[in-house]
Structure formats: C-alpha cells, structure tokens
Structure 1
Amino acid sequence: MNRILKEMIEHAATWPQEDQEELAEYAREIEARRTGVYTMSDQERAAVARGLAQADRGEFVSDELIAEADKRHEG
C-alpha cells in the first residue's frame, strides 16, 4: 500500500462512523467496478430483507400511485 493511502486510512479511522461508512461505500463501488462483483453493506442487506418480507406479505405500492409517479417524471 502506498504511503498516501496508508496515511489516509489511518486518518479516516478517526472520522465519525457515518463518514467511515461513506468511505467504505466508495471503496465497495471501486472494487465492484474492478472485479464485476458488488458486496452489499449490512444496511443494504437489511433493506433488501425488509423489502422481500414486505413482498412476502403482499405489501406492494398501488398501480395508481405508480401511474401518478410516472406522470410526474414524463418528458
């Protein structure tokens, strides 16, 4: 690891958790671009699990709400 990167990582360890998570997200995106494999964060994994549980319970957005959203984003 080059000196600049090593110093940056050491300094980032002193940042607030939210900033450290943001830096980790950027690193995951770079890694995904380089390898073609994206690794979800714990927060993303939890959000997917919540969405799947909602789908299992039949909780979907109504067709009317989707149509309204589509109208707002046209043209």
Structure 2
Amino acid sequence: MTNLLEKAVAKARDLSPDLQDEIARLMLAFVGDENSVYRFTPEEAAEQDAADAEEARGEYATDAEVRAIWAKYGL
C-alpha cells in the first residue's frame, strides 16, 4: 500500500461508520467489484419495483408520451 493510501485510510478511520462504508463501496467499485455503489432509498426502491411491475405487464410509454417528455426538455 502506498503512503498516500495509508494516509487516506487513517483519516477514514475517524469518520462515521456510514461514511466509511460509502468510501469502501467506492473503492470496491473502482477496483472492479461487481457490487453497486449507489443504494436506493426506500422510496426509490418502491418506485423501481413499480416500474419493474409495469414492464412485466407490458405497460410502456406511448410514442406521444415519449415525445412530450422530449419536448419538455427541448429534445
């Protein structure tokens, strides 16, 4: 381990456990670990579950709905 990395780890030891875990996830993602860095909030997880269920039922946005979203953002 380099001196710089040792210094960073020493500083990280003083952080809260939550921040230490965030740093660990970032480091693991950087070196190729397959785990996701971002963690959904409970609300985001519920929204994703709802979207997955819509997809499973074959419910997709219509062409008109997609065009309206694009137009909203000038695309």
The interval holding the TM-score normalised by the smaller chain is 0.3 to 0.5
Q: TM-score, normalised by structure 1?
A: 0.47
Structure of greater Rg: 2
- Quick check: which one's helix share is greater? 1
TM-score by length of 2: 0.47
